């Protein structure tokens, strides 16, 4: 068993910049979807927002109905050696062509090519309003360590 500590701001930033997949937690009150919904997402990050694209499905419908979401990333080396960051964010669809192009370039930085998106694809950002993190490392002070 390790010791869990607060991940410093620079550790949160590094984790958001380097993780490949994050998870969006969203929900909408009422109806058949009135429960938390958690989904993995490949993304890009620019220091203030997470950018991604998706077809219209449950995640987009829920975020349109309730734009306040949480976004989580993590990295683990062992059961007692991991880092995790959670960002509170507001969902925003990007409809302006220049804003969409900029967002897609963040998701697919050079030298990657930006793929042709299917018709009806939604390009969006999660504007981060707060963030926090934790990490665990082995307790070197424990007996037998």
What confidence score (pLDDT) does residue 26 get? Answer: 95
Contacts of 35 (CB under 8 A, 6+ apart): 27
pLDDT of 45 strictly over 80: yes
Number of domains in the chain: 1
Other beta carbons less than 10 A from residue 23's beta carbon:
16
- Furthest CA-CA distance within the chain: 60
User: Tens of pLDDT along 64-122?
Assistant: 999 999 999 999 999 999 999 999 999 999 999 999 999 999 999 999 999 999 999 99
Q: Is the residue at 84 inside a domain?
A: yes
pTM: 0.90
Q: Is the residue at 142 inside a domain?
A: no
As a whole number of angstroms, the distance between CA 102 and CA 104 comes to: 6
Domain with 106, as residue range(s), is: 2-132
Q: Is the residue at 22 inside a domain?
A: yes
Q: Is the residue at 144 inside a domain?
A: no
Q: Is the residue at 75 inside a domain?
A: yes
Work out the average pLDDT over 28-40: 80
Domain with residue 63: its CATH number is: 2.30.110.10
Is the model more confident about 142 or about 138? 138
Mean of all residue pLDDT scores within the chain: 93
């Amino acid at each position: 068993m390790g010791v869990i500590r607060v991940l410093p701001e620079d550790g949160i930033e590094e984790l958001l910049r380097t993780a490949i997949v994050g998870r969006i937690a969203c929900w909408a009150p009422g109806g058949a979807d009135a429960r938390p919904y958690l989904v993995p997402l490949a993304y890009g990050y620019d220091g203030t927002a997470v950018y991604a694209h998706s077809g219209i499905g449950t995640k987009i419908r829920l975020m349109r109905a309730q734009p306040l979401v949480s976004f989580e990333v993590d990295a683990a080396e062992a059961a007692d050696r991991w880092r995790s960051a959670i960002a509170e964010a507001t969902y925003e669809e990007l409809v302006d062509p220049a804003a969409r192009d900029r967002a897609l370039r963040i998701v697919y930085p050079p030298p990657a090519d930006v793929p042709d998106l299917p018709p009806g694809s939604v390009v969006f950002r999660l504007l981060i309003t707060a963030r926090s993190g934790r990490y665990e490392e082995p307790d070197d002070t424990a007996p037998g360590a």
